[in-house]
Amino acid sequence: MLNRRTALAATLGLSLSASFMTIALAQAPAGKVTVVTSFSKDVTDPIKKAFEKAVPGVTLEVQNRNTNAGVKYVEETKANNQVDLFWASAPDAFEVLKGKKLLTAYKPKATGIPDKIGSYPINDPAGFYFGFAASGYGIMWNDRYAKANKLPEPKEWQDLAKPVFYDHVSIAAPSRSGTTHLTIETILQGEGWDKGWRTIKEMAGNFRSINERSFGVPEQVNSGQVGVGIVIDFFAFSAQASGFPVKFVYPSVTTVVPANVGIIANPPNKAAAEAFVEFLLSPTGQEVLLEPGIRRLPVNPAVYAKAGADYPNPFTDPRFQKMIGFDVDKSEGRTAVVDTLFDQLISFQLDALKGVNKVLHEVDAALAKKPNDKAKALAEEARVLLAAMPVSEAQAASAELRGAFTGGKEKGARQAEVEAQWASFARDNYAKAKAKAEEALKAAK
Amino acid sequence: MTAIPTSVSRPRRIAGTPGQIALALAIAAFLLMFLVLPVATVIYVAFTEKGTSTFTLVNFYDFVRTELFMRSLWNSFYVSAMSVVWASVFALPLAYLTTRFVFRGAAIVQTLGFLPLIMPPFVGAVAMQLFFGRNGSINLLLDDWFGFKIDFMEGLNGVIFVQSVHYFPFILINLSAALRNVDRAMEEAAQNLGSSGFRLFRRIVFPLAMPGYLAGASLVFVKVFDDLATPLLLNVKDMLAPQAYLRVTSIGIADPMGYVISVVLIIASVTAMWLSARALKGRDYATTQRGGGGLAKRVMTPMEAVFGYGIVILILVLVLAPHLGLLLLSFATIWSYSPLPDAFTTAHYARVFGESSVYIKNTLIYATIAGGIDVVLGVAIAYLVLRTKLIGREWLDWMATAALAIPGVVLGIGYLRTFYGITLPDGTPLAALWITIVLALAIRRLPYALRACYAALQQISVSLEEAAENLGATKARTVRRIVVPLMAGGILAGFVTSFSTAAVELSATLMLVQSNSDAPLAYGLYVFMQSAAGRGPGAALGVVAVILVATCTFLSHLIIERSQKAKGMGH
């Protein structure tokens, strides 16, 4: 009896003092802070551990969702929001959230972080999301696979269009993967709309597969199902750190883009959310990024002193200084159009595209043995047909086309109509290109 | 013995008793609340004009006009039909040999034959590629020894191969349950009349087990038709379910087309189920002799034994190769472009050991409750459809079946829309409770349990119930004491199917999981499988999931065998 009473009193006392503490520390971050993220456990676990150590009393609750599902989730639950932070790679996703007024502006106090990385602003100029790690895009390949299939080491995007890479290259669909979308957009911005699409389609003629999720590509390269993948750098670096026989290169037309974190509008635990942003940007938080399982590029240049000599440093490495500037607004304005063009002209027509490309590779081989001007001209005609686009750069950004994809309030062309037009454009052109290519092959032989 | 009921056979012919009507209404309310309503909040856009909310069918016109969608529709039909054929080829020998003969290790064969259904998401795909892929173990060895490769996993044929390996257990489990229920007297009568061997099987045994076979085959057809994971894994995009998924989750999220495809999927699924029900209509599969029923078990001659075991082992090796790959992967350090891993380690298990216990606990709780809800609903719906004349009773069946065709992500978004606004007194949204995940799982797996219960009830003669009622039992008591015990095998088959597939479900779960402490195994797996370093631990977690479900399955097979032995079925 006595025991129970003591226990009761003790509990009461404890809970009383606990509530006093809460009142006293009302300003200090405490309790649970929820983050929706597309990052894997290998990234979130070490950061969670370090954060909870740095800010005692706060627990980080990680909800793992892919970027698209995460955006959708935040949007669907905004009426009764339970999420404090959104944490993902693609700046586009944050632009979408910002556009829907689902983010809170904040001014980080962290120091030592420059305004730009390469030519890309690290933080959102409007202050809704903040870059905490940089990533570049490039080409990853499996060394064992390359040796067995006698593949040369690729250096540039154009290399992947060479006959030797036929059926050995893999990519994620840009409509499915925010990072691949940025890769495609980088090529389009770096080489220009028409030339960029030609490069992309010539590479695509060598695609083995088009994956529906970003991680599918490094996974296939790691296991040796596919030789070469177009990926974001940390996929390759962390695979190397885990011991997979893979290599990686940044082509000269590429860009570094920050991975971001942002505070959701109306967060249940604002103090802790801010604490998390500050932690990520602090030297301690930045150093966690160097861990072998994470391997992302910190945005604080001072942190690289603790990294190994062979760790890529975008602030000193000349390769990164040459990288092109990336226009986020341009990219955001035509996201849906670019992704749908890729799907309709490439993903869903891949067999036709590859069929033409295979013949063209044969023509090249024949021409190398015995030059023939007529065949060369025909092959070029076929390539022009393959590269043709149903819309110009200006049209792609036009309000009319954007309207078809936003499902907005205004009436206008339906997405399905536009898609059907593009698909038949591609089908017709690829059929014509195939005829030309076969003619060229006949002439060349 | 006192009162002879005056209307023994009458009530069945007219409407139902008040109890039956109440039951039907309760089920209808449940399905409306947790299936129709949430899904409707998402797919109504299929019927609206762009930019307005006016009703229109123009989106369906767009569907028919789009070459890609029509090609996808045709491909889906072709792949589903071929998968049924191949799944039957795998399932028939296993089911027949283990039920027809005195077969050592029948329970083990039944359990192993069931495993392909439990392919954990993502890791399963990786393991399968490592074995059968273009540069998988088998092809690397073939290339090394003979200089050629076989495209097991290329294009539509690859989808058919993987789907029939994956889903043949639907036929196996339902057909086995049906074969156990075939009346031995029928077989003996046929034998007395001089029939034996294959003719006996073709003319007597198989037709009597038809409800079970059709239940399984229609499930395979509809499941393959609606499955998106396998085509996407093989990078086949021109099928209907992947098209719907790709649109709903990315570029077409604001576009009606993804939802139009969902509607087409639902219609096709329900039509397939309706056709399979039609095929059985007008025939009576019920047998009166129960308890002592089931095929007479024959002892195999040595030649037959060699042949029989040979076939069983061959099929099992083929269909279990992915699981073997998974096991190797979970112990592998690096496995890349080589027939076998470079080295082995137990470190992955050590890594998942600590956190997997919460996942295991959640998975067991969720899948058990979901399976429980499913068999209760399954028995109730089957009873109402087959034993009463309530108006519109088939609609319960159609509604429940339609769940099969609804992409998990659509259900997930629908749940968020419908239940996130509803809050508990402390402000937590209803959708944030783990019970929401359970309900989503139960709805998604209901068709499996329903088909099994339906088939089981079809094989029970009404005369047994009439006898009970003649002896004075009430309807409820008849159901409890006669119908349910006789259906036990089918109910258990339904429970096992629902339970084990719910245990590895991901698409709806991913949308609904609110915190790691509420997450099931499949979610933990997903989180691991996003990085190179997580592949091993992910595989380890996958193995844990498979073992977990396999143990439960094995136990339930033991229970079936026990109960049949207890009924005097031994030889």
pLDDT at B9: 42
Percent of chain A with pLDDT over 70: 92
Structure tokens at A339: 């992704």
pLDDT at B120: 79
* DSSP assignment letter at A246: E
B250–A420 C-beta distance less than 8 A? no
Question: Which of chain B's residues have a Cβ under 8 Å away from the Cβ of A207?
Answer: none
pLDDT at A231: 93
User: How far are the Cα atoms of B442, B516, B542 from residue B120, in angstroms, in the given order?
Assistant: 18, 18, 6
Q: How many CA atoms lie within 13 A of A202 on its CB side?
A: 24
| Residue A253's pLDDT band (cuts 50, 70, 90) | confident
Question: Which of chain A's residues have a Cβ under 8 Å away from the Cβ of B427?
Answer: 80
Question: Which of chain A's residues have a Cβ under 8 Å away from the Cβ of B516?
Answer: 61-62
pLDDT at B81: 95
pLDDT at A15: 47
A68–B249 C-beta distance less than 8 A? yes
Q: What is the CATH number of domain A28-135+258-322?
A: 3.40.190.10
Q: Which of A200-209, A252-261, B155-164 has the highest mean pLDDT?
A: A200-209
pLDDT at B380: 94
Would the pLDDT of A7 be above 80? no
Multiple choice CATH, B10-49+79-284+299-566, 1.10.3720.10, 1.25.40.20, 1.10.10.10, 1.25.40.10:
1.10.3720.10
The residues of chain B scoring below 50 in pLDDT are 1-14, 291-292, 568-571
pLDDT at B571: 38
Residue with tokens 């025991």: A3
B413–A76 C-beta distance less than 8 A? yes
pLDDT at A19: 44
* DSSP assignment letter at B250: T
Task: List chain B domain ranges.
Answer: 10-49+79-284+299-566
Question: Which of chain A's residues have a Cβ under 8 Å away from the Cβ of B41?
Answer: none
Q: In Å, how far is B30's CA from the nearest CA of chain A?
A: 23
Q: In Å, how far is A433's CA from the nearest CA of chain B?
A: 20
**Residue among A216, A251, A253 at smallest CA distance from A235:** A216
Q: How far apart are CA A303 and CA A311, in angstroms?
A: 11
Q: How far apart are CA B261 and CA B284, in angstroms?
A: 37
SS (H, E, C) B319-376: HHHHHHHHHHHHHECCCCCCCCCCCECCHHHHHHHHHHHHHHHHHHHHHHHHHHHHHH
Q: Residue B62 is nearest to which of A41, A409, A416, comparing CB atoms?
A: A416
Q: Is the ipTM of this complex over 0.95?
A: no
Would the pLDDT of A410 be above 70? no
Q: How far apart are CA B157 and CA B85, in angstroms?
A: 13
A69–B249 C-beta distance less than 8 A? yes
Sequence-separated (6 or more) residues with CB below 8 Å from residue A186:
A137, A253, A254, A255, A324, A326
B253–A64 C-beta distance less than 8 A? no
In the predicted model, what is the mean pLDDT of residues A416-439?
94
Question: Which of chain B's residues have a Cβ under 8 Å away from the Cβ of A38?
Answer: 530
pTM over 0.90? The answer is: no
By the 10 Å C-beta count (0-12 exposed, 13-18 middle, 19+ buried), B395 is classed as: middle
In the predicted model, what is the mean pLDDT of residues A414-418?
85
Residue with tokens 């304005």: A333
Q: How far apart are CA A405 and CA A419, in angstroms?
A: 10
pLDDT at A403: 80
Sequence-separated (6 or more) residues with CB below 8 Å from residue A25:
none
Percent of chain A with pLDDT over 90: 57
pLDDT at B414: 86
Q: How far apart are CA A82 and CA A267, in angstroms?
A: 7
pLDDT at B13: 45
Q: Residue A41 is nearest to which of B254, B514, B527, comparing CB atoms?
A: B527
Among A59-73, A161-175, A418-432, B72-86, name the one with the lowest average pLDDT.
A59-73
In the predicted model, what is the mean pLDDT of residues A87-96?
85
Angle between helices A270-281 and A41-54 (to 10 degrees): 110
Q: How far apart are CA B258 and CA A324, in angstroms?
A: 36
B238–A222 C-beta distance less than 8 A? no
Question: Which of chain A's residues have a Cβ under 8 Å away from the Cβ of B134?
Answer: 225
A39–B530 C-beta distance less than 8 A? yes
Supply the mean pLDDT for chain A: 87
Number of neighbouring beta carbons within 10 Å of residue B538: 29
Run of H or E including A64: strand A58-64
User: How far are the Cα atoms of B113, B325, B406, B503, B532 from residue B329, in angstroms, in the given order?
Assistant: 21, 6, 32, 21, 13
Q: Residue A408 is nearest to which of B51, B66, B334, comparing CB atoms?
A: B51
Q: Residue B232 is nearest to which of A64, A212, A427, comparing CB atoms?
A: A212
Q: In Å, how far is A404's CA from the nearest CA of chain B?
A: 9
Angle between helices B257-280 and B58-65 (to 10 degrees): 80
Q: How far apart are CA A259 and CA A315, in angstroms?
A: 16
pLDDT at A315: 87
Question: Which of chain A's residues have a Cβ under 8 Å away from the Cβ of B423?
Answer: 80
A424–B67 C-beta distance less than 8 A? yes
Q: How far apart are CA A65 and CA A86, in angstroms?
A: 10
Q: Where in chain A is the domain with CATH 3.40.190.10?
A: 28-135+258-322, 136-255+329-444
Q: Between these two residues, B290 and A80, which has the higher pLDDT value?
A: A80
pLDDT at B10: 42
Q: What is the CATH number of domain A136-255+329-444?
A: 3.40.190.10
C-alpha radius of gyration, chain B, whole number: 24
Strand duo A85-88 + A228-232: pairing: unpaired
Q: Which of A66-70, A206-210, B229-233, B251-255 has the highest mean pLDDT?
A: A206-210
Judge contact between A416 and B261, C-beta under 8 A.
no
Q: How far apart are CA B508 and CA A359, in angstroms?
A: 44
pLDDT at B293: 54
